[in-house]
């Protein structure tokens, strides 16, 4: 027995060579700071977050602006967060003391009261323009929530709200600024010319969320205030090639395999609980290749509107809720028509129903949309392809005027 002791030393080395790092993904827990209930003197709990009134702040300060309360405002999402706001015809700003440097979600909530509906303003932070010429006048769904990812490396963080011109006003109902794990670097980069490379420098980018889409979900929209990315819309309006697309869903009584030992590889990232709603991983759109069909013409394709000549982080969420046993399916994902990547759900986990995501940096070039397709693969036992969730974030490069 004694002469086998060295296996204990060798085995980990051997595994490291064969496989990438084993990680156990931990559930995300919201930090205490900073959740601000603008224009209010009282604190308000929302899930595990406590929104502190900006008239009695303890970790932020606000300069200028007036407060307004409108108790007639009703929203199913909250209990009072949208009944107060701070507004002004002059610039105002919030100052936060940052103790932990890193990547922050910056989330702004706007709920236009009748007398604020004509507001037209700019929002900036970290010398970049987060929103410019922003108006909520014609939005059909309220509240309007804008989400950003901002790397913060200084000890002060300041957000400016600036009326777009002399006769307009700026306002905000609630602000969230909270620490999340940094983005991984060196993602596959698809330039508009269709070439492939590695994108370096992702952790230092400011990003604006454009789309969060849940595929095949039973309800048209998902909002879940217990997770980081709470608002999702259904995919059906984005489909351009439908073929034999089907909605799929997973019984909510069955467990998603988040917390198993999983492998983070270059292209596959283990999802953590509490980042996106479980329900996104419990639904999907899928397409199957029937006998006699060619994978060249059997796919589902979606188009997502973006700005021309911009760079985007495209994050695709997968969770194999369809296979009865692992290792029976492989398929392809295409971005535009000229890039495709094999998706092997079992590169990453030995279980079915294990949530993970892949990220790509995509240049839009002259295109005003990003095209995403899933394509079944002929050479495997199960010949279907699926997609559970998608996020598209635009790189913010516009400096403050």
Ligand X SMILES: *[C@@H]1O[C@H](CO)[C@@H](O)[C@H](O)[C@H]1NC(C)=O
Which residues are near ligand X by CB under 6 A? 32-33, 43, 50, 52, 58-59, 75-77, 122, 132-133, 135, 137-138, 162, 164, 185-186, 188, 192-194, 200, 216, 220-221, 223, 234, 236-237, 241, 243, 245-247, 265-267, 297, 299, 301, 305, 334, 336-338, 341, 365, 367-368, 373, 375, 401
Nearer to ligand X, 3 or 294 (CB): 294
Q: How far is the CB of 190 from ligand X (least distance, A)?
A: 8
Element (H, E) at 7: helix 6-18
When the beta carbons of 259 and 344 are compared against ligand X, the nearer one is: 344
Least separation in angstroms between CB 151 and ligand X: 14
Nearest approach in angstroms of CB 117 to ligand X is 10
Q: Which residue is nearest to ligand X (CB)?
A: 194
Q: How many CA atoms lie within 13 A of 3 on its CB side?
A: 0
Task: Kindly tell me which of 3 and 74 has the beta carbon lying closer to ligand X.
Answer: 74
User: 115: which residues sit within 8 A by CB, 6+ positions away?
Assistant: 68
Instruction: Report the residue count for the chain.
Output: 401
Is residue 90 within 8 Å of residue 170, measured between CB atoms?
A: no
- Smallest gap from Cβ 272 to ligand X, in A, equals 18
Residue whose C-alpha is closest to residue 320's, from 371, 387, 267: 387
Query: Closer to ligand X at the Cβ: 36 or 106?
Result: 36
Report in angstroms how near the CB of residue 394 gets to ligand X at its nearest: 14
Nearer Cβ to ligand X (259/264): 264
Q: How many CB atoms lie within 10 A of CB 184?
A: 12
Q: Closest CB to ligand X among 259 and 365?
A: 365
Provide the minimum distance between the beta carbon of 76 and ligand X in the complex, in angstroms, as a whole number: 4
Q: How far is CA 131 from the centre of its chain?
A: 18
Residues sharing a CB contact under 8 Å with residue 84, sequence separation 6 or more, in sequence order: 37, 38, 39, 40, 67, 68, 69, 70, 173
Nearest CA among 287, 316, 293 for reference residue 304? 316
């Amino acid at each position: 027995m004694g002469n086998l002791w060295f296996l204990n030393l060798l085995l980990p080395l051997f595994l490291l060579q064969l496989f990438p790092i084993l990680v156990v993904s931990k559930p995300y827990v919201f930090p205490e700071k900073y959740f601000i209930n603008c224009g209010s003197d009282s604190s308000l709990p929302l899930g595990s977050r406590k929104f502190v009134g900006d008239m009695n702040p303890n970790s932020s300060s606000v300069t200028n602006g007036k407060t307004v309360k409108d108790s007639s405002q009703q929203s199913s999402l909250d209990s009072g967060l949208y009944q107060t706001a701070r507004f002004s015809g002059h610039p105002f700003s919030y100052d936060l003391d940052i103790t932990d440097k890193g990547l922050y979600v910056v989330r702004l909530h706007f709920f236009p009261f009748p007398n604020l509906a004509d507001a037209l303003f700019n929002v900036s932070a970290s010398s970049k323009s987060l929103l410019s010429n922003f108006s909520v006048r014609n939005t059909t769904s309220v509240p309007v929530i804008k989400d950003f990812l901002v790397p913060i490396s200084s000890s002060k963080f300041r957000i400016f709200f600036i009326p777009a011109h002399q006769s307009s006003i700026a306002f905000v109902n609630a602000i969230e600024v909270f620490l999340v794990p940094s983005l991984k670097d060196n993602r596959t980069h698809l330039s508009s010319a269709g070439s492939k490379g590695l994108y370096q420098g992702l952790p230092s980018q400011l990003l604006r969320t454009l789309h969060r889409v849940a595929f095949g979900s039973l309800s048209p929209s998902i909002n879940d205030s217990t997770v980081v990315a709470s608002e999702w819309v259904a995919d059906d309006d984005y489909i351009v090639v439908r073929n034999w697309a089907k909605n799929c869903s997973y019984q909510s009584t069955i467990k998603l395999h988040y917390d198993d030992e999983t492998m983070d590889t270059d292209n596959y990232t283990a999802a953590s609980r509490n980042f996106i709603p479980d329900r996104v991983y419990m639904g999907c759109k899928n397409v199957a290749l029937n006998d006699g069909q060619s994978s060249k013409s059997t796919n589902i394709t979606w188009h997502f509107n973006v700005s021309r000549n911009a760079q985007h982080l495209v994050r695709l969420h997968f969770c194999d809720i369809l296979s009865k046993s692992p290792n029976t399916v492989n398929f392809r994902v295409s971005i535009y028509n000229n890039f495709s990547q094999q998706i092997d759900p079992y590169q990453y986990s030995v279980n079915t129903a294990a949530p993970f995501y892949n990220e790509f940096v995509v240049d839009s070039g002259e295109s005003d949309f990003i095209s995403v397709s899933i394509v079944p693969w002929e050479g495997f036992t199960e010949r279907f392809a699926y997609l559970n969730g998608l996020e598209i974030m635009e790189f913010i490069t516009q400096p403050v005027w």
